Structure 1
Amino acid sequence: MQLSASYKLFRLFNYFVLTLLSLAAFIPFYLVVTVSLTDEKSISLNGYQLFPDKGSLEAYRTLFMNGSTFLQAYKISITITLLGTLLSVLVTCLLAYAISRKHLKYRNRIALFVYFTMLFNGGIVPWYIIVSKLGLVDNILALFVPLLVNAWNVFLIRNYFRAIPDAIMESATIDGAGDLRTFFQIVIPLALPGLATITLFYMLGYWNDWWNALMLINNKELYPLQFLLRQILSTVLYATSSDSMVTNVGQLPAEGIKMATCVLTVGPIIFVYPFIQKFFIKGLILGSVKG
């Protein structure tokens, strides 16, 4: 079938717009990478450049100056991201499944309680008192237990569960399946797009979190990557802005370190995202409108 001239023009316009949007998303990240690999003097003289005239790895050398500490921080971040995401998805799905079942008594009140936490919280001081009384200070559990459940994710996955036909659930019951078997063998496989969506949300949340470490962790062996990089960056920025520091402080690649920290923190997520992108987009759209 021959395409009309107007349709060809429309497709050409779409390609042009999508190309611009792709460049708008790619160029900032590319600039971050190039600046992290640019000599500090070149940045001071020429500013940020897409094609720097002089490269340098000094920013990464500064960050990796204490390699064992850096590797330990990576280990902690990976541990809390994997373990925290697994537990968060499990607890979130169990709660969402419970309030999605019509036969559960007081399910609407439970849902209202969950929704209430989206609007209000008890404040930092009561939160810290509760966490400290639970013995989570200077404990690796403090890095993921307070973040186990997100109310928005609960309602997102609940909409998936509510959309599953009652006939399927009744058939499972007739076949002798209990609630747990129905949940793990029927409900979960039917809600994979939604699971992929909340999994990515939780992964990003755990990987990027530094606030819990700031509030609850004093042991340097338990510093996650984000908090360690924040400490390093704060130290460098203070050193470069203080006249009372060492004489060679001007040699510290402050701008390069800023960008290098971005590269080191966002890298693992970039490698994970393509594998669940298809499920993520589908799950986010459908989970928002179902139910």
Structure 2
Amino acid sequence: MKKKKIAFTDVMLYLILTVVVLVCLYPFLNVVAYSLSGNTAVLSGKVTFYPIDFQLSAYKEILLKQTQIWTAMGISVTVTVLGTLLGLVLTVAAAYALSKEKLKGRGILSGFILFTMYFSGGIIPTFLVVKGVGLYDSISALVIPSAMNVFNFIVMRTFFKELPLELEEAARIDGANDMKILFKIALPLSMPIIATIGLFYAVSYWNDYFSALLYIQTPEKFSLQLRLRQLLFAGQINQVSMENLGTQVMSESLKMASIVISTIPIILVYPWLQKYFVKGVMLGSVKG
């Protein structure tokens, strides 16, 4: 039995992909290494992709003493969960309804939705609307204004258009109405695309700090990303004395540890949805 020869193009492709992966992975490894390194290494700037003079002082400071981090993380988790659920409900409902050619005025309604993808009222008018309806300085202000993404709506609508019409006709013969067809047929067949769109919404809500910067005034309601922004740019955490360790934790290490802590939760979501991700995007992007 002859061994299959490896083509030169395949070798080059794997080599290029390996380099790309290393380039993307290096910044994250550098952040983790800085967060686990001692003060001398941090000051000298010798830290690369592995920790020098390993210590957990920065993590102990953040996790045990910086209680506002836990509060901010709880708010971010709440916003992410509520925003993702609301976004999925609105996206599925709008996409399913507007994928039906028999719906009167579907072209006009789709046009209104697509219009917002290219034109918006701007930051100040949006802020005035949020404040005018009583959402200012509330968790709802972080969820409702960005509840439905138009790109996600287009992908979902395209998927629903591709569902076999025979399935719907067979269900109607059996006496099913539109709601039963949606919940009994369309949604079970849509799990890959729903998981993908849900991941898009979750990442968007988790990484969003600008909405909290605009709409939240009470420090106790700050999201994790806004709190992290303060740590990185406002310099709220400087050198902190660690009495039980008898040393000082440099602000750089605290910043890097904060980045790692805020990144880990959303990274843990990816393995659960990875098998749906590529399939879901491809299913919803075949036709426009």
Instruction: Judge same fold: TM > 0.5, yes or no.
Output: yes
Moved more, 270-279 or 21-30: 21-30
In the alignment, what sits opposite 2:181?
182
SS of the residue 1:52 aligns to: coil
Deviation at 1:60, TM superposition (A): 2.8
Deviation at 1:151, TM superposition (A): 0.3
Q: How do 1:1-150 and structure 2 match up within 5 A?
A: 1-5=1-5, 7=6, 11-64=10-63, 66-150=65-149
1:255 aligns with 2:252: yes
CA 1:82–1:133: 2 relative to 1, 3 Å = same
Moved more, 253-262 or 76-85: 253-262
**Which amino acid in 1 is paired with 2:267?**
I
Does the Cα contact within 8 Å between 1:58 and 1:253 map onto a contact in 2? no
Q: How do 1:260-271 and structure 2 match up within 5 A?
A: 260-271=257-268
TM-score (norm 1): 0.88
SS of the residue 2:281 aligns to: helix
Does the Cα contact within 8 Å between 2:59 and 2:257 map onto a contact in 1? yes
Distance (whole Å) between structure 2 residues aligned to residue 238 and residue 139 of structure 1: 26
CA 1:122–1:86: 2 relative to 1, 3 Å = same
Does the Cα contact within 8 Å between 1:91 and 1:149 map onto a contact in 2? yes
Distance (whole Å) between structure 2 residues aligned to residue 34 and residue 142 of structure 1: 36
Deviation at 1:10, TM superposition (A): 5.2
SS of the residue 2:285 aligns to: helix
Consecutive unaligned residues of structure 2, counting only runs of 5 or more, are 240-247
CA 1:236–1:10: 2 relative to 1, 3 Å = same
**Which amino acid in 2 is paired with 1:137?**
Y
Q: Deviations over 1:206-255 (max 9, x none)?
A: 11111111111122222111111222333327968xxxxxxxxxx66232
Does the Cα contact within 8 Å between 1:73 and 1:228 map onto a contact in 2? yes
Does the Cα contact within 8 Å between 2:41 and 2:53 map onto a contact in 1? yes
Deviation at 1:84, TM superposition (A): 1.2
Distance (whole Å) between structure 2 residues aligned to residue 44 and residue 284 of structure 1: 45
| Percent of pairs with identical residues | 39
Moved more, 12-21 or 77-86: 12-21
Does the Cα contact within 8 Å between 2:33 and 2:49 map onto a contact in 1? yes
**Which amino acid in 1 is paired with 2:47?**
Y
Deviation at 1:163, TM superposition (A): 0.1
Distance (whole Å) between structure 2 residues aligned to residue 12 and residue 29 of structure 1: 26
Distance (whole Å) between structure 2 residues aligned to residue 282 and residue 48 of structure 1: 39
Higher relative helix content = 1
TM-score (norm 2): 0.89
